[in-house]
Amino acid sequence: MRLRVKYSKTGRMAFLGHLEMLRFWQRALRRAGLPVAMSHGFNPHPRLAFGPALALGIESLAEYLDVELAADWEPDRVREELQAQLPPGLAILLVQVIPAGAPALTAVIDTAAYRVSWLAAVDSGLLQQRVGSLLARTEVPVSRPGKDGRPRVKDIRPGVLELALDPPPDLAMLLQCSPAGSIRPEEVLQALDWEVPGRITRTGLFARRGDEFLAPEELNS
C-alpha cells in the first residue's frame, strides 16, 4: 500500500539536509516497525520518495514523504507509531492512503508558500512600499550562482506569484517551485533590498490547477 505522510520540520530540525532526513526516516521507519517495501536489485533500499528539497535553515509546516508498505496498516496506526519515533521539531500532520499509480510528489508540486517573520522591528509601511514596487515591475533580475559557480542573472518576476504583508508585518510569498525552476525566498528578500534578519518558514506546497492551488493531500480525494 502507498502512503503519503505530511509532516512539519521546525526548530533545530530545520538544519537537517536532504540526505540526513533520508537517513533519519529510514531509521525511524525501522524503529516504528513499519513493513516498508524494499526496492529490488543488487542493493535493496526502502521505497521512499520526498517532495521538493528544502534549503538548510528554513522551517517547514508542510513537508511530504511517500512511502510504500509491504503490508496494510491503518493510517492512524502509522501516524501513532511513527510519531513516537520522532524527536521534537518533527511532527506528523497527516497520513493518507494514495493510489498505487499516483504521480510522484516531485512531478506534481510546482508552487511553494513561505512566510518570513522578522527578528527585529520593521517599518511595515516601508516594506509594503517595496513589495508594491517589486510587484509593479515586469522584470526582477537577481544574481544566483550558476552550475560552474559563477554568478548568473535570472529574472525571478514570473516566479513570484504572490507577495503580501500577511499578517503584517510578516511577509507571505507564493513562489514557483518545480523542476523547471524554483525561486528561493532569500532571492525575493534580496530583490526587495530588505536586510532585517528574519526567520523563514515554508507554509505550504501546492500543485497548480488553473487558478487553484491544491495541496498534495487534496489531489487524490
Partner 1 sequence: MSHLVTDELLKQVSKPARYLGTEWNAVHKDWDENPAHMVFIYPDLYEVGMSHLGLAILYGAVNEQPGMLLERAFAPAPDMEDLLREKGIPLFSLESHRPLTDFDVVGFTLQYEMSYTTILNILDLAGLPLLAAERGPGHPLVVGGGPGVANPEPVAPFFDCFLLGDGEEALPELLALMGRLKKEGWAHDRREVLARIAALPGFYVPSFYDVTYNTDGTVAAVVPNRDGIPARVTKRVLPDLDAAYFPTRPIVPFLEVIHDRIMLEVMRGCTHGCRFCQAGAIYRPVRERDLAVLLGQAEELVRHTGHEEISLTSLSTADYSRVEELARTLAAAYEDRGVSVSLPSLRVDAFSVRLAEAVQRVRKSSLTFAPEAGSQRLRDVINKGVTEDDILTATAEAFQAGWQAIKLYFMLGLPTEGEEDLLGIAGLARRILHQGRELAPGKKPTVTVSVSSFVPKAWTAFQWEPQDVVKVLQEKQQLLRSHLKGPGLRFSWHDARVSFIEAVLARGDRRLAAAIMAAWRRGARLEGWSEYFRYDCWEEAFEETGLDPAFYAHRQRQEGEVFPWDHLDFGVVKGFLLRERHRARAGELTADCRSGRCTGCGVCPDLGVDLRLKGGPVDRAPAGEV
Binding site for partner 1 (CB under 8 A): 11-17, 19-20, 23-24, 26-31, 38, 44, 56-57, 85, 87-89, 119, 197, 199
Of residues 199 and 208, the one with the C-beta less far from partner 1:
199
Of residues 23 and 137, the one with the C-beta less far from partner 1:
23
Of residues 26 and 178, the one with the C-beta less far from partner 1:
26
Q: Which three cell numbers stand for residue 135?
A: 510587484
**Residue 90, Cα to own-chain centre: how many angstroms?**
14
Provide the minimum distance between the beta carbon of 28 and partner 1 in the complex, in angstroms, as a whole number.
Answer: 6
The whole-angstrom separation of Cα 3 and Cα 33 is: 15
Q: What is the CA radius of gyration of the chain?
A: 19
Provide the minimum distance between the beta carbon of 145 and partner 1 in the complex, in angstroms, as a whole number.
Answer: 16
Give Cβ neighbours of residue 131 (< 8 Å, ≥ 6 apart).
163, 164, 165, 171, 192
Provide the minimum distance between the beta carbon of 15 and partner 1 in the complex, in angstroms, as a whole number.
Answer: 4
Give Cβ neighbours of residue 112 (< 8 Å, ≥ 6 apart).
52, 174, 175, 176, 177, 182, 202, 204, 205, 206
Provide the minimum distance between the beta carbon of 132 and partner 1 in the complex, in angstroms, as a whole number.
Answer: 29
Q: Which three cell numbers stand for residue 41?
A: 536489485
Is residue 203 within 8 Å of 116, Cβ to Cβ?
Answer: no
Of residues 88 and 149, the one with the C-beta less far from partner 1:
88
Q: DSSP letter at 140? A: -
What is the helix, strand, coil percentage profile of the chain, to 5? 30, 40, 35
Helix (H) or strand (E) holding 174: strand 171-178
Provide the minimum distance between the beta carbon of 81 and partner 1 in the complex, in angstroms, as a whole number.
Answer: 12
Give the residue carrying C-alpha cell 530540525.
13
Of residues 23 and 152, the one with the C-beta less far from partner 1:
23
Provide the minimum distance between the beta carbon of 61 and partner 1 in the complex, in angstroms, as a whole number.
Answer: 17
Of residues 56 and 135, the one with the C-beta less far from partner 1:
56
